[in-house]
Chain A
C-alpha cells in the first residue's frame, strides 16, 4: 500500500514538473527584461498599454454575453431533453461535441460566408453585428463544456419528480425552470460559465478573422513584435484562466445539498 502510494507521488511529481516547468521558465523569462536582474517591468509595460485594457475589457464583455446566451439556450434544452425526450440525448450530445471536431477556422469561414455584407443577414457590416456574430460563435465553441456541465448538474437531481411536484402545486414550465431547476443546478451552470470564459479570453482564430479587438488577437500582436511582454501576457492570461477554474471549485461548496439518508 505504502509502496503504491510512493509510486503515485512519483507519477504525480513528474506530471506536475512537465506541466509547471515551461510555466516557471516563461515566468522567469518575463522577469528578465533587464540584464541587471529580475524585474516586473514587462508586466508594467503590458498593464500600462491601453490596448491591453480595452481588449481585455472587450473579451470579458463578449465572454459575459456568451455565458448569458449559452445559459439561455443550453439550460432549457438540456432540461427538455432529460425530461421529455431522453431518446434524443445521444443526438444532442453529438451535436454539442461538433465544435470540438470542426476547426474554428472552418466555423468562422462558414459564418463569414453566411453573414457577410451582401448576405440576407449582413452581421459583419457593423461593429455591433460582428460582436453579435462573435458571441454566437463563442456560444458554439463553449457548447461542449456548457452542455456537459448543465447535464451533469441535472443528473444530480430528480428532475422529473421535482418538476411534477412543482407542477401540481400550480407552477408552469417557466416557473419550474426558474425557481426549482435552475437554483439546484446553479453551481454546474457556473462551472460551464467559467470554462466558457476561460475559452473566450484566449480565443484568437475567430476574433482575428472577424477583425474584432479581442484579447487573443492583442496577445498575438504583442507576441509578434516584442520579446518579454508576451511572456508576461501568457502568465497574466494563465492567472485569469486559473482564477476562473478556482471559482468553479469555490462555488461547488455552495451546491444545494441532497437529503441525508436514514
Chain B
C-alpha cells in the first residue's frame, strides 16, 4: 500500500485547559479531497489550523510526504489556504493579490504575470486583473482567493469554510467549481465545513468529528448509509428512531407496534425483552402501496412539508413518529394532514445504533 500523503498522528490541542482536539489519527492520500465535518467546537478548524501551522499541537505529529512539518512556520510549509472571510489584500488589485505568493518566492515579473493570467483563466475571471477586491462580488472574491492560494503551486490546499459567507446559489456553483479545479490539478485538499450536504456532495472522504474525536472516517456513501455511531447518523442527514422490544435475539426478531419483525442488523449482544432503538433514513420509509417493504405500520399524517421535488411527511404511529420522503408527483397531491396512511420499511434498511 502506498504511503499516505498527509498523516496526522495522535494530535492533541488544548486551549486554556479545554481539550479541543483529543488524540486524532488520520491519513489522507495524494490528490484526495477530504472534508472535516462536525458541529461548532468539534475541533475541525483547529486541526486545519494545525496543518497550516497557525496553531502548534500540544502533542502529536503532522507528516506530509513522510516529513514531519509540525515544527515549521506557516510560510515554510508550501501549503495554500482559502479563508472564510476571503482575506484578499484590500490595497492590491486582483492580479497583485494572485501574484503575491509568487513575488515573495522571487519569481521573475514576466513569469509571474503569465502565471497570474493562467490562474485568472482557471477561475473564469480573465480580464479582472486590474480590479480591486471591493469591486468584486463575494463569489468572485473567493475565486480570487482560491487562485491566490493555488498560484504558487502548493503541495496541499486547505479550505476553511470558504462557502459560508456566500448565498445559497453561489455556494452550490462555487463548490462545483472548486471540486472541478481540484480534480484538474490533482491537489490534495482538506475542506472544513459544518454543512453536511456540502460535505457529502464534494468529498472523496469525510472525517466526522465530535468533541475533538473522530467519530467516523469514510466515503460519503458509507458515512450516510452505514453510520457507525448515533452521532454520525443524526448529524449527517435526518434519522428516524422507532422503539421496539427484542422478541427473540437468536432469530433477530423485534416486536414493533404490536407485530413482530425480523431485523437483520440486530446485534448478537441483544437480549430477549430488551428495549431496542431501530433507526432508518426518511427515504428508506415509503407509503406502503405494494412496494416490497416487509415492515408495514399504520399511522396518521401529522405534518406535510412540501420541499419542491421532495415531500416530507411526518407520520404518527401511536407512540412513535416517523419522517418519510416521497417524490413530488404532479398528478397526485400528497396525503392530507390527519389522513390515515400505511408506511412500509425494508427491514434490511434498518440500523441498530449504539451510543
| B-binding residues in A (CB < 8 A) | 157-158, 161-162, 164-172, 175, 180, 183-184, 256-262
Contacts and interface: CB of A to CB of B under 8 A. Distances in A.
B190 to A, nearest CB: 13
Interface of B: 52-54, 73-75, 77, 79-81, 83, 85-91, 100-101, 104-105, 132-139, 141, 145, 148-149, 152, 166-167, 170
Contact of B100 (A161, A169, A261): A169
Contact of B104 (A158, A171, A183, A260): A171
Contacts of B91: 180, 183-184, 256
Nearest to B166: A262
Contacts of B133: 259
15 contacts: A158-B87, A164-B52, A168-B52, A168-B80, A169-B100, A170-B104, A172-B75, A183-B91, A184-B91, A256-B91, A258-B134, A259-B86, A259-B138, A260-B136, A262-B166
Given A168-B79, A180-B89, 14 more contacts: A161-B85, A164-B74, A164-B83, A167-B73, A168-B53, A168-B80, A169-B149, A170-B101, A170-B152, A257-B132, A259-B86, A259-B134, A259-B141, A262-B138
Contacts of B80: 168-169
Nearest to A162: B87
B34 to A, nearest CB: 19
* Shortest 10 CB-CB contacts between residues of A and residues of B: A169-B101, A165-B87, A257-B134, A183-B91, A256-B90, A170-B104, A262-B138, A161-B87, A256-B91, A167-B74
A184 B133 CA distance: 13
A260 B341 CA distance: 52
B221 to A, nearest CB: 33
Contacts of A171: 75, 100, 104
Contact of A169 (B85, B141, B152): B152
Nearest to A182: B91
Given A164-B54, A169-B100, A184 B90 contact: yes
B31 to A, nearest CB: 21
Contacts of A172: 75
A256 B149 CA distance: 22
